[in-house]
Structure 1
Amino acid sequence: MARSLSRFLRQVFGWLHERAFERVRTPLRNACALAVLFWRADRRLTFWLAFLTVVLGLLPNATAVASGAFVGSVPGAVGHGLASPSGRQALTWLGLVSFGFLAGGVGLAGSRLLCELMNTRLTLALGDTVGRAALGAGDLTRLADPGVSADLAAVEEFERSDLHLQTAWSVRMLLTMRTAGLCAAGILATFAWWAPVVLVAGWSVTNVASHRWMRRGFTAVREEGGGALRRADYLRGLLVDPPVAAEVRVFGLAGWLGEEYTRTWRAAMEVVWRARRSNAWSLVLGTAALLACHGVVLATLVQRTGRGELGAGALTVYGLSVIGVGELGFLGPPQWRVARATALARQALDLSERLGPAVLRPAPPAVASVPRGPGPVEVHLRGVSFRYPGRDTPVLRELDLRIPPGQSVAVVGANGAGKSTLTKLVCGLYPPSDGSIRLDGADPRAYRSDGPAGRVAVVFQDFLRYELSLRDNVGLGSLPLLRDERALGEALRDAGGTELLTDLPAGWDTVLARGYDGGVDLSGGQWQKVALARALVAVRGGAGLLILDEPTAGLDVRAETELFDRFLSLTRDTTTILVTHRLASVRHADRIVVLSDGRVAEDGDHDTLLASGGRYARMFRLQAERFADHADHADHTDHTDHTGSADSAGDSAGATGAADA
């Protein structure tokens, strides 16, 4: 019986110790994370800000002591005059009180200046930490993790709410007030050892209740309402973002979007409100405990003063100390802001740990493990399989493919065959689930911006449209050539965008976005030329592998064919991978690879695959017949513009010519 009771008590105390340790450990880890960000932001500013924080925490209590001494010396000064020792003592204490207030004002002004400087540096440190974490992710699968998305969204919301501009000041206020509260508790202990203990206990109960109330709200947002808040933020963006304004107005979506945003936001916040309502009782109990603790201490002070045990000066000091101990309680907005900032700092550092550079799997011993120098890149895939996270069906299955240096390869296939996935794997954006991918014998992820730069160039179908100048949009393909207008001009000319320089008001320095002074937006076709020019700049900068993943989907067949042919001519000394669903555009590639069911179904040049009568031949003839039907329809319906009919027929000539053969 005694042994069972002892084991039960050990379990209970162990559970209580674990809960208490967890309550302390999490806030401590968060606070340490914020301290790390402060240290990274500016070490000297952190030191001086910490020094001022401590000084400002000590001054109120020193001033309170001086005030009590002054009050105690007033009767003597009144009775004997200011020229007497009592009068001079009163003047001295009054001078110290005045100095305390003056020093506090100067310290506050100085700390505000330091906090403004620290907020700027802290913003940079936070952005740098999160940016390095996101860009340092070895592949895109980790960025798609829901937890990572939630943390990134939390950082974005924190910055958008401008709370980061109040972090340093809130931390300074919180630490100053806590320091002042501890000093006040020490002074009050000279009156009665138990008095600060009772008050701290009351404030601790209130703090626990307040923290519990806030934490339930934050936890509810992150665990239950985070997705709804992100969706509400997305809907809000649809209401205010200029790119979607036209479609919203044409389809009359403004009212629906407004109602959906309101409903989604309220649904997300209802989770918070419900969680906090369920904990409102803790706030009531905490407040009642606090009032009871203060009543006990103040009643004792009044009682001892009434018995003549305390003078006016002592009563002043202890009364101010009772008020000062309140700095150990819940401090409202500063404490709430610091809680948000410390939690966010922990999330930011966690992102750095979770999204650190991926560990590259070692290459086979017989193959070089570092990329070779300039020149065309060899691409080798062996037994590559890939499955997107959360999906059971693999996109690629044991795919084998070798592309010799300098060869141009067109990758074709039906929608969903895995063409774009293959290009992302070759770029190192995703790690293969099985098998290996090597570029010149090295893992593709070795070709990072902080490693051997410029060896891979790619233009995706959803290429980026930077809200930067034309020079930057083209030159970002190779940073060393960013100021070389000759190289940029040649790339833009080869991409068919020479007229942009003459049409844009400020030439290379024109910002390609409305909303900026002198900014201009481009059409879809013009943006494609800019993106292609960026890829050509990368080739001129030393890229040995060029990937075009359907960047010309908006062009007609003939324009795409002419562009691909021009690119093949310009990149003869570069390994080239062309991805398109239009087979007429890739007839001049050295080699055509047909993907089907996640594998290489056919492999050969255009004539060989067409003669074999397989999948490629059927797809090619089907497209040729469709384009021929379109041309015949144009011939019958356009009786006035024969040139237009010829153009339409010309678009299909590339497909129909080979089909007829």
Structure 2
Amino acid sequence: MAAPSTGTGQVRQAALARLRIARQWPAAGPGWSAVALALSVVRGVLPVVFAVAVSATVGRIGPVLHGTTPPARVWWPLAVAGAALIVLHLAEAAQKAVAEQLARRVDGHMYRRLIAASLSTREITPLEDPAVLDELGEAGHELRFAFRTPGAAYAGLIALVGPYTQVVGFTAVVAVVLGPWAALAMLVVVLLFRHGQRGGLRRYALVIRDVADLRRESRYLRGLAMGPAAAKELRVFGLTDWLTERYRQVYRRALAPVWAERRRIYLWPYLGYTAVGLTGVAAVLALAGARAADGVIDLAGLALVLQAVLALIRLGEFYPDSDTQTQYGMNAETAVTAFERSMARYAEPADTGRAGPPADTGRAEPADTGRAGPPAAAAPAIDFSGVHFGYPGAARPVLDGLDLHIPAGKCTALVGVNGAGKTTLVKLLARLYSPGAGTVRADGVDLADLPARDWQRRIAVVFQDFVRYELSAAANIGFGAVEHLDDRAGIRRAAREAGLLDTLDALPDGLDTLLSRAYEGGLDLSGGQWQRIAIARALFALYHGSTVLVLDEPTAALDVRAEAEFFARFAELTRSRTTILISHRLSSVRRADRIVLLDQGHVVEQGSHDELMVANGRYAAMFTLQAERFADEADSEPLTQVPG
């Protein structure tokens, strides 16, 4: 989100951000908020009480020493000052504890908002928009810093009540002792200093937000250097020095405008604020000295006004308990709000952001899931009619007027060179993207007219970049139909069909073993075993009502023998389902009922394997080329024994 270009606009945006932070009181808890507010007021009043009591003590020391006043008159204001000091320290400790509670509550609410917004759309288009990713990255980054979160900002706003209560109290003291004009002068000094502090911090924070893309890249590079995922390649390919230098360059580019703004904000303006402020303070102190010399105010009054002036000068400076927290916390809340608004533009009116069933219930919702037991509907026929789709900034569309019929209950294989549009077609079918033009229909019904959630429940997909959840093996499979996570028999059956059950049973905790070395007792699987997990997840979805199966390079991580075993049972696994198979290995698709060759977003050839070979076109040339590369008949023999 672009920062306001004018000072007035920045102030207005900051005020609106403070208002949004203040409105988090229901999430923080009214009771906790009231306690924090009361403690802030106490912290604001007690320093004034302390100053008054100390001044009274100072004013009575002289008469006591001269014997004109009994010593007892010194002790009681001194006792009040001591009590105020003790209670003040206790209130500070209590407020810190309450502030932590408030911050946890508000930040938890913010995380829920961020998660809900991230999952609010059935399409993934917004999550591939750099501007939206900047908003998400900024919000998520700030939420990870305990003192820069919206929760810290909420606690900081309440904490501000204390200093401003002191400002009111000490200004009143100056007014009583020296008169209203002296009090007004000190109030102007305080507000001038505060404007410089807050305005500078606000502009500084806006500059940091403006370099969000560079900060995101620096975090990515830092993650590469410090995480295990890239550790092998960084060392084998000798990328460590390059990565270090690249991180240094990006980090410096991100900080250069920040440093320049700091110099602009904190140099000459501060000198001006300081000069004006010190002039006002000097005038008030001179007035106090003159009044004391003339006998207008006594020693107690002079001591009190000196304390008040010094306190007001300090109160015009930086507030460590609130300033940084509120400014950066407001930035985080603004980023969360901007991200929510961006995602809301993509949300379907009838699909109000509940992207997935409640994780804490485990119950199916019959009116919504479509996966309660056997398939409720037959496998659909799918038609792409005049479909266009292009990625933002791309020179040409990926799909350009695509017309394609996928028959119901049959297996259709999609082949073609990289970039032909195969995976994009799958994402359109899964309603992860919407076509720029044309329609995608299931049994004659435009998918755009169906709730995306309902349609996606009918699809089981093995993506190329399938997710490896750092959870149990059972959960990794059961997520194919999350409402049926308690279907252990179905999970075991899916694992068996994917050829993985024996491997999982041999793990320390069987299907309950955590599949991540990041946790104690967790283990990791090989690439081929993870591929089988993804296949088992899709099979489990089929058991619970999905009627469309999409396999995008489902055996890319399997060895030749394992791939042959999978495809030997392929027809049985996909029986009565509308199946789309994508594979670069043409020997794997030859058993499909129909093969479609895509090129530059168009269908250029289609038919059965035998028909395409007889046609001796581009598919035949590609198949022959691959066959020559893998001339060993043993590699393909298991595949040819299965009827197509």
Q: TM-score range by the shorter chain?
A: 0.7 to 0.9
Change in 2 beyond 3 A, CA 1:443/1:192: farther
Q: Which of residues 9, 30, 33 in structure 2 aligns to 1:46?
A: 33
Change in 2 beyond 3 A, CA 1:199/1:106: same
* Mapped contact 2:49–2:84 kept (Cα < 8 A): yes
Q: Which of residues 364, 375, 378 in structure 1 aligns to 2:377?
A: 375
* Mapped contact 1:40–1:125 kept (Cα < 8 A): yes
Matches within 5 A, 1:102-181: 102-163=86-147, 164=149, 166-167=152-153, 169-181=155-167
- Deviation of 1:586 after TM superposition, in Å, equals 1.9
- Deviation of 1:158 after TM superposition, in Å, equals 1.9
Q: Which of residues 9, 24, 32 in structure 2 aligns to 1:22?
A: 9
| TM-score, length-scaled by structure 2 | 0.86
- Deviation of 1:350 after TM superposition, in Å, equals 1.5
Cross-structure match for 1:627:
630
C-alpha distance in structure 2 between counterparts of 1:453 and 1:327, whole Å: 61
SS of equivalent residue, structure 2 residue 346:
coil
**Residue type of the alignment partner of 2:377:** G
**Residue type of the alignment partner of 2:415:** V
Change in 2 beyond 3 A, CA 1:573/1:307: farther
2:568 matched to 1:569?
Answer: no
- Deviation of 1:423 after TM superposition, in Å, equals 0.8
Cross-structure match for 2:286:
299
- Deviation of 1:524 after TM superposition, in Å, equals 0.5
Cross-structure match for 1:634:
none
C-alpha distance in structure 2 between counterparts of 1:442 and 1:189, whole Å: 75
Change in 2 beyond 3 A, CA 1:616/1:32: same
Change in 2 beyond 3 A, CA 1:623/1:55: same
| Cα deviation 1:234-270 (Å, max 9, x = unaligned) | 2222221112222222233333322332233223222
Q: Which of residues 171, 175, 186 in structure 2 aligns to 1:199?
A: 186
- Bigger mean CA deviation after superposition, 503-512 or 352-361: 352-361
- Deviation of 1:74 after TM superposition, in Å, equals 5.3
Q: Which of residues 511, 524, 527 in structure 1 aligns to 2:527?
A: 524
C-alpha distance in structure 1 between counterparts of 2:386 and 2:455, whole Å: 26
* Mapped contact 2:588–2:639 kept (Cα < 8 A): no
C-alpha distance in structure 2 between counterparts of 1:326 and 1:177, whole Å: 12
- Deviation of 1:461 after TM superposition, in Å, equals 0.8
2:261 matched to 1:275?
Answer: yes
- Deviation of 1:176 after TM superposition, in Å, equals 2.0
SS of equivalent residue, structure 1 residue 504:
coil
| Cα deviation 1:467-505 (Å, max 9, x = unaligned) | 222122112222222232211111111011122223312
2:184 matched to 1:184?
Answer: no
Structure 2: gaps spanning 5 or more residues? 351-367
**Residue type of the alignment partner of 1:526:** Q
* Mapped contact 1:69–1:313 kept (Cα < 8 A): yes
C-alpha distance in structure 2 between counterparts of 1:472 and 1:406, whole Å: 28
SS of equivalent residue, structure 1 residue 200:
helix
Q: Which of residues 207, 214, 218 in structure 1 aligns to 2:201?
A: 214
**Residue type of the alignment partner of 1:124:** G
- Higher RCO, 1 or 2 (CA under 8 Å, sep at least 6)? 2
Cross-structure match for 2:237:
251
* Mapped contact 1:473–1:534 kept (Cα < 8 A): yes
Matches within 5 A, 1:516-595: 516-556=519-559, 559-595=562-598
SS of equivalent residue, structure 1 residue 39:
helix
Q: Which of residues 333, 337, 343 in structure 2 aligns to 1:355?
A: 343
Q: Which of residues 233, 237, 241 in structure 1 aligns to 2:219?
A: 233
- Bigger mean CA deviation after superposition, 177-186 or 436-445: 436-445
C-alpha distance in structure 2 between counterparts of 1:397 and 1:649, whole Å: 35
C-alpha distance in structure 2 between counterparts of 1:653 and 1:565, whole Å: 9
2:328 matched to 1:325?
Answer: no
- Deviation of 1:376 after TM superposition, in Å, equals 4.2
Cross-structure match for 1:289:
276
* Mapped contact 2:153–2:325 kept (Cα < 8 A): yes
| Cα deviation 1:558-580 (Å, max 9, x = unaligned) | 64354245344223233222111
* Mapped contact 1:466–1:473 kept (Cα < 8 A): yes
C-alpha distance in structure 1 between counterparts of 2:33 and 2:401, whole Å: 55
C-alpha distance in structure 2 between counterparts of 1:504 and 1:312, whole Å: 83
SS of equivalent residue, structure 2 residue 42:
helix
C-alpha distance in structure 1 between counterparts of 2:52 and 2:596, whole Å: 86
Q: CA RMSD in A?
A: 3.2
C-alpha distance in structure 1 between counterparts of 2:52 and 2:605, whole Å: 90
**Residue type of the alignment partner of 1:273:** W
| Cα deviation 1:604-646 (Å, max 9, x = unaligned) | 3333333344433333333333322xx2xxxxxxxxxxxxxx6
**Residue type of the alignment partner of 1:584:** S
| TM-score, length-scaled by structure 1 | 0.84
C-alpha distance in structure 2 between counterparts of 1:445 and 1:349, whole Å: 29
- Deviation of 1:152 after TM superposition, in Å, equals 2.0
* Mapped contact 2:153–2:330 kept (Cα < 8 A): no
* Mapped contact 1:461–1:552 kept (Cα < 8 A): no
- Deviation of 1:535 after TM superposition, in Å, equals 1.3
Matches within 5 A, 1:496-515: 496-515=499-518
SS of equivalent residue, structure 2 residue 523:
coil
- Deviation of 1:168 after TM superposition, in Å, equals 5.3
SS of equivalent residue, structure 1 residue 397:
strand
* Mapped contact 2:37–2:159 kept (Cα < 8 A): no
Cross-structure match for 1:393:
396
- Deviation of 1:285 after TM superposition, in Å, equals 2.0
Change in 2 beyond 3 A, CA 1:652/1:407: closer
- Bigger mean CA deviation after superposition, 28-37 or 39-48: 39-48
Cross-structure match for 2:359:
none
| Cα deviation 1:394-452 (Å, max 9, x = unaligned) | 11112233435433322222211100011111112222111233456364696666x67
- Deviation of 1:653 after TM superposition, in Å, equals 5.8
Change in 2 beyond 3 A, CA 1:346/1:593: same
C-alpha distance in structure 2 between counterparts of 1:394 and 1:297, whole Å: 73
2:634 matched to 1:647?
Answer: yes
Cross-structure match for 1:313:
300
Cross-structure match for 1:341:
329
Change in 2 beyond 3 A, CA 1:98/1:278: closer
| Cα deviation 1:257-299 (Å, max 9, x = unaligned) | 2233223322322222123223422222222222222112112
**Residue type of the alignment partner of 1:622:** L
**Residue type of the alignment partner of 1:292:** T
SS of equivalent residue, structure 2 residue 591:
coil
Change in 2 beyond 3 A, CA 1:330/1:142: farther
Cross-structure match for 1:609:
612
* Mapped contact 2:567–2:639 kept (Cα < 8 A): no
Over the matched positions of the two proteins, sequence identity in percent amounts to: 35
SS of equivalent residue, structure 1 residue 143:
helix
- Bigger mean CA deviation after superposition, 404-413 or 21-30: 404-413
C-alpha distance in structure 2 between counterparts of 1:439 and 1:371, whole Å: 18
Change in 2 beyond 3 A, CA 1:577/1:40: farther
- Bigger mean CA deviation after superposition, 395-404 or 111-120: 395-404
2:500 matched to 1:494?
Answer: no
SS of equivalent residue, structure 2 residue 125:
coil
Cross-structure match for 1:59:
46
Change in 2 beyond 3 A, CA 1:442/1:614: same
